[in-house]
Structures are given as structure tokens and as C-alpha cells.
Structure 1
Amino acid sequence: MSLVFGAVADDLTGGLELAAMIRAGGVPCAFVTELPDSVSDPAIVVARRTRVAEPALAVADIGRVGAWLIERGARQLFFKYCATFDSTPHGNIGNCADVLRQLTGSRLAAFCPSFPEAGRRVFQGHLFADDRLISESPKRYDPLTPMTDPDLVRVLQQQTATPVGLIPQQIVRAGLGAMTQHCERLIADGIGFALTDAAVPDDLAALAALTVSWPLMTGNSSIAAYYPALWRERGLVDANDSVTRLPPVRGPGVVLAGSCAEKTMRQLEVFARDRPVLMLDLAAVSDADAAVTAALDWALPRLADGPVAIATSADPDAVAAVQVKLGQRRAATLAEEILSKLAQALRISGVRRFLIAGGETSGAVLDRLAIHSLRAGAYRAPGVSQALSEGATPLAFCLKSGKLGPEDMLLPMLASMEQGEQP
């Protein structure tokens, strides 16, 4: 089979979730962070760290991956970003989509960030987090990509010179014919990008049917759950494809949290009811290596009794104070440096199961461990997916978006890695 689906993700947690969605649909899907020599699966997700990169660097990186996928015959490119449309007025969604549109020659590319299962919905172009606009949710306090404008047409238009339109809910609900006609009108009007409304899973299914043959599609991972069945209907993948379950991974387990999302903070609180949590205060760190050594000395004796958590997470006021002291970028890179070096030291000490909270933290950890590909397990729920590294001594990972997952997920997820995927 040829390469049916070539995706590039702007961070690792979302990329892994996308690969897990495809695998849950019964289609083998590779997950890599660096471009491999070849692709044998019908789908591949290349996860990069472009979400908060300098815009010019992000565009170059996404373009490089897109060109590589096209050279290998990818039938469709998919650009994956967060359901909360994490970006700034300078990028990196619209600007990266521009380069992919140029590579594919797409007349129109759709943007579908909605993730109803996680409470992220778009209505009349406005993004909601559960029952409130994204600009009224905790996402407005994000230390790197605060969302203060819920109008995604306006947000996206700030990042691109390509005219942006909307496929509103009434058109989505009217069916495939109505959507197709609406898209032709947008193209005739010179529109190159279209935000899509989606509030319920049926909306995603309808949009998947509309876009399954488009050369370029963009969005959150949720819409991709509907593609495998459509590929089978069209004979694009083997109807008998299946994926093997992940085996158990024994050995100590740890949580490393760099996300400052409210959900991650709550998950750490719940974890602390049963197991120790070390909260690192970045404002008090004068030497990263010394902080790593102290955290390692704290963790190793406790791992004999079960998992532990180490976090640089903090509430909005504490984050603001650290950013004032260190600067926004230095505060983020310090957290990544400490947690990634900790992961390296913990692996040497025998830790085999890692739950990493935060997209940037996940990228930093895998980079430090020199892990460039993972075997993704099947998607289970928002923020709940696991993966295995290759090699003689595999490591188990859950790369968790800071904003997702049940409050009590940390300990059960580590236990699931030890048990392996169940039928």
C-alpha cells in the first residue's frame, strides 16, 4: 500500500494522540520525531516542536517535513495542532499551513480544531472550552500561547495573508452536497483557508467525509478518527489491517510534569493523595544540574515503594513571577532542561515507565533520551494514550497534553503501562 496519510504535528503530545487515533481505527501508523529512511506503514505522523518556535524556523521545519512526505507519495498531508488553537498573532498555525498549501497546490484547506470529547467546540467560528469561550477559560493564562480572542477566523487571519472564511454549523449540518457547494463559493471568492464549525462527533464525521480526498487538511487529532473507515471504503488501506497491542513494561515509573495547565495541577494534587510529589520552584533554582541532583536524591529512595512525581508546574501568579525574574523563554527552557536531564538520570537508574505532562516537556525529554520513534498504542480517551520505544530494553511512555485527561489518570496510566494494552 502507498502512503495514504502523511501528518506533521506541531508538538509531541498531539502527534502521539493523532497516531493513536489512526491505530485505534485499525490502520498501522508510524510515529517519529525525526524523518526516517523509509515508511512501510500506510500512515505516518512526524511530530515536531514548532508550536512556540520562532515563526521563520517553524515554517522552514514544517515545510521540510511536508516536502519529504510529498516525495514519498503521501496522498494527503495533515497538519495537526492543538484543539485550543495554541498560537500567537505571529504563528505558528496559519504561517505553517501556508507553506503546506503551497507544497500541495490546495485550492482550499480546512481548519478543524474541535474536540467535542474534550469539551472543545467551534460555533460560528468561535472556540469554546466546555461552557465558556476560550478567552474566558484558564487557557487565557497560558504562559506561552494565551488565548484571549475566541474568534478563530480573526486569530487565523492574523497569522496568514491567505484569505480566511468559515464553514458554519448550518452548512455542516446540511450535508455533503451543501458543504461542497459552500466550499466552491469560498474558492470562487478567493478564500484559501476555511475554519469549520463542529460541536458534536457527527459534525466531525461529516467534515471527514468532505475532506478525506483533499490534498491538505488541518486540525486537531479528533477528526482523524473518522478517516480509517473512509479509507477502507475507498480501498486505500487493506480491509484486514490490524495493529498489535503494546506489551507490558516492568520497572519503576515516574511522572514528570512541566505543564502549568489547571488540569495538570489538579492531576498532581490527586496523585499526591497516594504517592510523593516534588514541586520544583524555578525561581529558587540557581543551577540546573544541582536541581537535578537534588531531585534525583529525593526520588530514588522513594521509587522502591512505587511511582513518584516531579514537577515544575505552578499556578498563574507563580509563573508570572518566574517569567519576570528569568524571562518567558528562559523560564520555559529551564524547566525543560531540568526535567529532561532528570529523565535521563532516572533511565540510567532503572526507570522504565514515564508519564510526561506537557508538549514542550515531552519533546525535551525524548530529545534528551535520543528517542526518535515510538510505537503508539490505540487511542483510549483524551490525554490517555501510551507508546513504547524500540530496542532491546523498551521504555513505556504516556505523553500527555497538559490540558487533557481525567483528574485521577496519573497512577492508573502508569499501572496500564505495566500491564500492557488489554483486549
Structure 2
Amino acid sequence: MLNRYSLMTTQRRSKLKIHRDFLNYLHPINRIKEWNWDTIRWWMFDEMVEGGLKNETLDHSFQKLMVVAGCGGGMKMGGGGVITEWKDIPMELLLRIVSLVDDRSVIVASGVCSGWRDAICWGLTRLSLSWCKKNMNNLVLSLTPKFSKLQVLVLRQDKSQLQDNAVQTIANYCHDLQDLDLSKSFKLTDRSLYALALGCPNLTKLNISGCSSFSDTALAYLSDFCRKVKTLNLCGCTKAATDSALKAIGYNCTQLQYLNLGWCENVGDIGVMSLAYGCPDLRILDLCGCVLITDASVVALANNCLHLQSLGLYYCQNITDRAIYALVHSRVKNKQSVWESVKNRYEEEGLKNLNISQCTALTPPAVQALCDSCPALHTCPGRHSLIISGCLNLTSVHCACAVQAHRATNKVQAH
């Protein structure tokens, strides 16, 4: 065993390897006391070298775990104490170990002893239960009161399992929560949003895509309490995403940068314009399938959201050249604001992704003008960031690099 791990100290080793070895010792729990402390030392030392870790506190923990060949009855620590049980392992090292394994292993490890349980419960800030296929609701009810320091919680499901009582428990205990993924939770009702509004005011990222039972009233209520939200996924939330709710979001969530409204067919110009006026830092907006919006929405976005980088307009067939030319001229109309963004060292301004598939009213001159004014928009293979599928009249539109490649090919053929 020593030779094996000594050899590993000279090699780069992936986290997958560490995860597999950890599981071999962790399952079943009643084998954990057979674990060799020297094994832990080699594991963590190798990972420390590979990651370039220079934490003095953690280094001190490694020194505590040094094993002298032939010693028995425990491990001597720097302060004169002896590690004889799992509860004696330094918290820094334990948290480093569990950071290298999957969430299922973390949960198992929390049941080893009271010391491990307390350390993990207080130190764990990220948890995903997406691997749970049958009993996620019960697992959330059981674990959430213990893991009260969570900041990121992923509860994405393939088959809907979560119920309101689970989300209410999250809201009651996880007041530091910043990132919550509840996508495809079809069984949740407005009670969940009301609970999150009151219990999780620090949310900055919320994914409730596919939660078709939420109402616009509950979503508006949430926005009034969770004003720090920067990323919001409402894809498929047909009842929640209405102009009324978007007006509330535009008024309350002024830091919003990402919003997915895909296939929210009740969204209209009033809602999008409210977002444009209230959320000037909007970077990514997906309006695919929002069939009610017109040029007025895009014009408002072009004039007010100067940092907009990605815009999805798939199947928005009311969009015409007026909207496209508004995007072309938006930077000219806002010279002072653009100069301020340059001074504040924002990333390169201008659209980087645009989906206008099935927008059949658009003409080649308008789209070509936009492509020319936004160098990050590409029609060439491998960099396809201007999506025009379904628009047969736009096949002549090409980005600059595509034109250059075509000219280079012609020169080669000519010679």
C-alpha cells in the first residue's frame, strides 16, 4: 500500500481516481475504521502538490497525520495529543477530503460519527441531490435542517419528486442560500415561492424552469423580497411569466443579468419593456417562442441594455427590420454610456449570440448590417453565433471571417 501511494506522489492524478479510492474505504460505513492514516496522508499530499495548495493551516493538519513506521495505538499530533478515533481528524483535512468526492459520499461520511457530522454540517456550502431518483423529497426534509449553511443547492429532477413541504423546509433553515435549482418541479405550488421569498432573501440565482404551476402573483411577490437576483430561469413557466410579473421583476430586481423566458407565450411588449427600463445590466435574454413581442421590445432593449450579449428571438415572427436596425444603431445612440462602460472595464460590448430563426419578416440588408456592426456574430461553421435557420431569404448573410475564407478559396483556385 505504501509503495502504491508513494508512486502516486510523483504522478498527476485526477479527482476521479481520488473519488474511487475514497469510496472503496467509505462503503460500507462499518469498514471505515480499517482506513490507513498513511493512505490519507499520501492521498492529500499528492492532491496538495498537484493543486499547488499553500494553506498553512492545512499544511499543519498534514503534519498532524504523519505516521512513524511501527507506531501503534494511534497517531501523535503536533500538540502532543494522539489521534485514535475518526472524531479526532482535523476539520480542515476532513473538509478537504469531502471536497474531492461526490455528494452521495459526503452524505454517507456525515453519518460516520458525531464529529464528522458536525464538521460537514457546518462546513458544507454546496450540495446537489440531482442523483436522487426516488426519494428526493424525504432526503431534503431530512438533510436540510442539518446543512443550514448551504449556499448552493441543486435539486434538478428528471421525474418530479419535490413537494412544497421540502421547499418550505429549505426556506426555514437555509437563510444563506444564494443559488437554488428547482427545475422540473411540476408538483410545486405558489406556497414554495412564498416560502422562499420570506426565508431566502439572499438568492442571486434561481432556476424554476418547467415549474408550470407557479402564478405571476407569487413570482411578483418573490421579486419584492429577493432583490439580489442576477440569474433567473423561467423557461416554460407559462402562468408565472406574464407582463404583470415582469413589471415587478423590472422594478425590484435591478441587478438582473440573465433571464430565460423561453416559451412563455403570455409575455408581451409591456413586460419586456419593463425589463429593459428596470434592468440596464441585462446580458443574456431568451425570448424564444414569445410570439406576442414586437419591434417595440427589441428597440427598448437596444436603447437601454447596453451590455446585452445574447438575445434569443426564435419564432418571434412579429420582429421586423426596425428591431434589427435598432440593435445596429444602439451604440451610436448611447455614445456617452458606452464610453462609461469602457472606462469601467466592461467586457467587449455588442451582441455575441443572436437567434432569429423563423423570423421570416427580416431582410438580408438589415441582418447583414447587424452582422457587420457586431464582430462577435458569426455565420461560419464552428463559430455559429448568428442563428438564421428557417429564414431562406437570409442565406446570403455572412460574417466577415466567412467572407475572407471565401475570398482565400477563390484565390487558391485562381492560381
Structure 1 length as normaliser, TM-score? Answer: 0.23
Higher strand share: 1
- Higher relative CO (Cα under 8 Å, sequence separation at least 6) belongs to 1
The structure richer in helix per residue is 2
Structure ID, larger Rg: 2
